[in-house]
Amino acid sequence: MPSPTRRTIIIIDAVEWSPAYPNPHPLRNVGEWFARFLRGLPELEPVVVPAGEDVAEAVFRPSTAGVIISGSPRDAWARDRFNERLVDVILRCEQARIPFLGVCYGHQLLGVALGAKVGRDPAGVELGNTTIELTPEGRLDPLFEGVPLSFEAMESHQDSVQTMPAGATLLASGRQTPIQAFRYGDVLRGVQFHPEHDPDILRFIWEPRRQTWRDRCDFDIDERLSELRPTPEGPKILKNFANLCRKFSS
Beta-bridge partners for 133:
150, 173
Q: Is 9 exposed, middle or buried (0-12, 13-18, 19+ CB in 10 A)?
A: buried
**Residues forming a β-bridge with 67:** 10, 100
Angstrom distance (rounded) from CA 189 to CA 181 = 7
Q: Is 194 a catalytic residue?
A: yes
Whether the Cβ atoms of residue 14 and residue 86 lie closer than 8 Å to each other: yes
Pick the catalytic residue from 32, 45, 93, 104: 104
- Catalytic-residue membership of 107: no
Q: Which of 32, 45, 107, 194 is catalytic?
A: 194
Look up residue 79 and give its DSSP letter.
-
Residues forming beta bridges with residue 48, ordered by sequence position: 11
C-alpha dihedral sign at 169, 155, 111, 37: negative
15-37 b/e (C-beta count within 10 Å ≥ 16 → b)? beeeeeeeeeeebebbbbbbbeb
Q: Which of 107, 157, 196, 197 is catalytic?
A: 196
Active site annotation includes 104: yes
Enumerate the active-site residues.
104, 194, 196
